[in-house]
Structure formats: C-alpha cells, structure tokens
Amino acid sequence: MGFRDIFVRTSSVESLTYDVSASLAPVTSLDSLSPFFRGNRTATRQEAMSVPAIARGRNIICSSIASIGIEVRDRVTGMDVDVPRVIRTPDPRIPGVATYVWTLEDLLFSGYAYWQITELFADTQRVRSVQRISPDRVTINTNSDSTEIESYSIDGHTPLPLSGVGSLVVFYGNDEGLLNRAGMTIRTGAELERAAALYAREPVPQMVLKSNGTALPADRIAKLLESWGASRRNRTTAFLNADISLETLGFDPEKLQLAAARSYIATELARALGIPAYFIDAETGSSMTYSNASTTRQTLIDFSLIPLMNSITERLSMPDFVPSTQRVEYALDDYLRGSALERAQIYEILNRVGALSAEEIRIQEEMIR
C-alpha cells in the first residue's frame, strides 16, 4: 500500500447501472478547454496570483463565499432539514472551508471545478465524501466534434469511471474562466509587477559604466559592476574617478508612468474579476465610508458572488447529494446582518406591529439559546 492509498476509500457497493449516452456532458465553451491546449492568450495561476489586484480579488470573492454557511431546505415547505456531512465537510480530512475556497478558485480561474467521489452511502448511493481535484490535472476527452465530453482523465491516466467511486463531480462556471478570458491582461499585469521589481532593485534608469582608459579584463569588469550595484543599494551618492564615466539609457519609472500603468491594469482586472474596483483599492481617491459600509456586502453578493454561489448550490442540489425534494442554499441572513443600530430599528418596528415579541428578538440576537 502506497502513501497515497491511505487517503483513497474503497466501497463494497455494487456499481450502478448507467446509461452511457446520458453520461455525455456538453462542452460549454471551447475556450474552456484552452488550459489543456495552452495558447498565447491564456495565463497561468502563478502569473495571476503574482498580481496583487487579482490576489486580493480572489481572496475576497472565494473566502467570502466559503465563509457563508450552507443550508438544505425542503422545496415545498421551505423548512430547514439536516445538512449532510458531505456538504458541510466534503473532504473529511480537511476543513470544509478549505475545500470550498479552492473549489471556488477553480471556478473563477478555470471555468470548471472538480471533486472526485471517494465514498458512497450504501443505502442511498448518494455521495458520502469527495476530494478536490485541480483542473490542471484533469484532461477532458471529447467526441470528434469537440461538442460532447465523453470522459475525464486525471494526470493523463486511464479514463475515469462515469459513475460511482472514482468518478468526478463537475461544477460548471458561467464562462471560460478568468485565466482564459483575461489572460492577456493578467500577463500584462504580471509584466508590470516584474518591471516594478526590476526598478526596485535598480532604482535609476539603465546605467552603463564606461572606461575612459584602457580596456578592462572580464574579471575586473565583473568586480566593478558588483561593487557598483552593492553601493547603490546601500547609498544614493556615488563617486567615479577619471577612468570611469556613467551614462544612462532609457527612462525612469516616473517617465514610463509605471505607477499609472499598474493602476490602470488593476482597474481592468477588477472588471475582469467582476468586483467593484474599490474592493481591491484599484481606484485612487475612492473610499468606503461608514454610511455605505452596510450595503457593500449586498453589493458584493449582487455583482460578484451570486454567479459562483449558484454554480455551487445548483450542483449540490442534484439527486446524487440530496433528495430531489430538497435544495441547497447559502444562508445569507448572518452575512447580510446590518449594524446593531439598524437591527435595533428594525426590531423596534416589528415589535410595535406585533410581528416579533421581545423573546423572539432576544433569540434572533442570540441572547437566549
């Protein structure tokens, strides 16, 4: 038994009968397959996360959704029912929030997210536990027209089963993913970050040290350049004797408008992420005041989080996770709670009209458990 086998669960349940023709899934966009057929218009996750605007936007979007609780309701009565463990903690080896953060990132960046089924319930055949699979490990095998997905493979191995233990739970995003849709903008942002790092190391235009006397051997030149670079990192004042002169080439960061370019790209990446620019501090001069702070969470949900939240809840509401009479939802009440003053004003109105008693208000505020 290898080390990886420790985490792989087996099931004694007999395999389900499965209609192969019904297993075919549509290819939502050919651009979604580009991570598997790399092109010049796509970016990598490493390039994306090297840009502060994307890193901050990713953390706000994915961490915000992962922090919201998930509940299961009866479709007819709307009553809460017990949430299966696989929905709270999909992979029992790690906290549920970690699985959801990375699953949401996969949807945001790649347009797809994958869970591999590791265990089923023996009686209902529903999913009992899963493990997240990174999209860059998954190969999509399509038909000759590239319109239908026939099977999936992990790490280029044998195609996975179409159902049961070892098969994939596929989450579909709303587009081809940020790395494909905004790949060129991401790569531009990454290049600007590299340029900023270069100017941080060499905080003046490109310099040429010119010998006014005899030609210097290679070892003398190397030592001279090393000494010059070390001195410039430690002090701003330099001294040159008559044998060496300094010439500068190119432009400094101010003339290149490097700061303005980075600010512009940050705003463009905020648009690509679908998040208001002020959330990632991409707009200069904008700020979030106390008067509008209570509405920012609702704004974030309406314009940024809803598409990813729907991708998660719609897939988890399918019969392999919960009965067809139930649906999975995000519990937004706690996330959207207003300030203490706002809640007190609402409670005062509801109590006055008889909609809530004082005891019910205490329960709502967790003063009584």
DSSP-assigned letters across all residues of 107-129: HHHHSEEEEEEEEE-TTT--EEE
Residue-level pLDDT at 238: 73
Shared domain check, 163 and 30 = yes
CATH code, domain with 221: 3.30.1120
| 21: its two tokens | 């023709």
| 240: nearest Cα among 191, 201, 265, 207 | 207
Report d(CA 28, CA 142) in Å as an integer: 12
Report d(CA 52, CA 181) in Å as an integer: 18
| 100: its two tokens | 């959801």
74 has a pLDDT exceeding 70: yes
Shared domain check, 84 and 57 = yes
How far is C-alpha 278 from the geometric centre of its chain's CA atoms? 18
Shared domain check, 119 and 52 = yes
Q: How confident is the model at residue 72 (pLDDT cuts 50, 70, 90)?
A: very high
Shared domain check, 51 and 33 = yes
Output 359 or 84, whichever has higher pLDDT. Answer: 84
For the chain, what is the radius of gyration of the CA atoms? 28
Output 264 or 336, whichever has higher pLDDT. Answer: 264
- Strand ranges in 1-74 using DSSP code E only, listed in sequence order: 25-26, 70-74
CB 306 within 8 A of CB 312: no
Output 206 or 131, whichever has higher pLDDT. Answer: 131
Q: How confident is the model at residue 36 (pLDDT cuts 50, 70, 90)?
A: very low
User: Which residue, of 249, 278, 312, is where some domain finishes?
Assistant: 249
59 has a pLDDT exceeding 80: yes
Shared domain check, 259 and 274 = yes
Residue-level pLDDT at 314: 94
Mean pLDDT confidence for 299-319 = 90
15 has a pLDDT exceeding 80: no
Instruction: Encode pLDDT of 256-304 as tens digits.
Output: 556 777 788 888 898 889 888 888 776 554 455 544 455 777 788 887 8
The whole-model pTM stands at 0.72
Shared domain check, 238 and 325 = no
Output 135 or 192, whichever has higher pLDDT. Answer: 135
94 has a pLDDT exceeding 70: yes
7 has a pLDDT exceeding 60: no
Which residue(s) pair with 171 in the sheet? Answer: 113
Report d(CA 20, CA 344) in Å as an integer: 57
In the numeric block, the tokens 């899963």 are attached to: 130
Shared domain check, 160 and 33 = yes
- DSSP letter string, 300-324: HIIIIIHHHHHHHHHHHTSTTTS-T
Report d(CA 340, CA 204) in Å as an integer: 52
Q: How confident is the model at residue 337 (pLDDT cuts 50, 70, 90)?
A: low
Q: Is 150 helix (H, G, I), strand (E, B) or coil?
A: strand
| 172: its two tokens | 């579909």
Helix orientation angle between 183-201 and 258-273, rounded to the nearest 10 degrees: 150
Q: Is 307 helix (H, G, I), strand (E, B) or coil?
A: helix
Report d(CA 260, CA 38) in Å as an integer: 31
Shared domain check, 313 and 288 = yes
Mean pLDDT confidence for 315-324 = 93
Residue-level pLDDT at 294: 54
Report d(CA 235, CA 251) in Å as an integer: 21
| 224: its two tokens | 């001279």
Instruction: Encode pLDDT of 217-240 as tens digits.
Output: 888 888 888 887 777 777 767 777
Shared domain check, 307 and 239 = no
Share above pLDDT 70 across residues of the chain, in percent, rounded to a whole number: 75
Secondary structure letter of residue 250 according to DSSP? S
Q: Which domain holds residue 236?
A: 206-249
| 60: nearest Cα among 293, 287, 300 | 300
Shared domain check, 155 and 9 = yes
Name residue 52's amino acid: P
Shared domain check, 279 and 180 = yes
Residue-level pLDDT at 310: 94
Report d(CA 36, CA 112) in Å as an integer: 12
In the numeric block, the tokens 């051997």 are attached to: 217
Q: Provide the number of structural domains found in the chain.
A: 3
Shared domain check, 262 and 192 = yes
CB 262 within 8 A of CB 254: no
Residue-level pLDDT at 39: 52
User: Which residue, of 249, 282, 304, is where some domain finishes?
Assistant: 249
| 239: its two tokens | 């001294």
82 has a pLDDT exceeding 90: yes
User: How would you classify residue 257: left for phi > 0, otherwise alpha for psi between -120 and 50, otherwise beta?
Assistant: left
Output 290 or 81, whichever has higher pLDDT. Answer: 81
Mean pLDDT value across the chain: 79
100 has a pLDDT exceeding 50: yes
Spatial CB neighbours of 151, under 8 Å, sequence gap ≥ 6: 141, 159, 160, 162
Least confident of 27-36, 122-131, 261-270, 308-317: 27-36
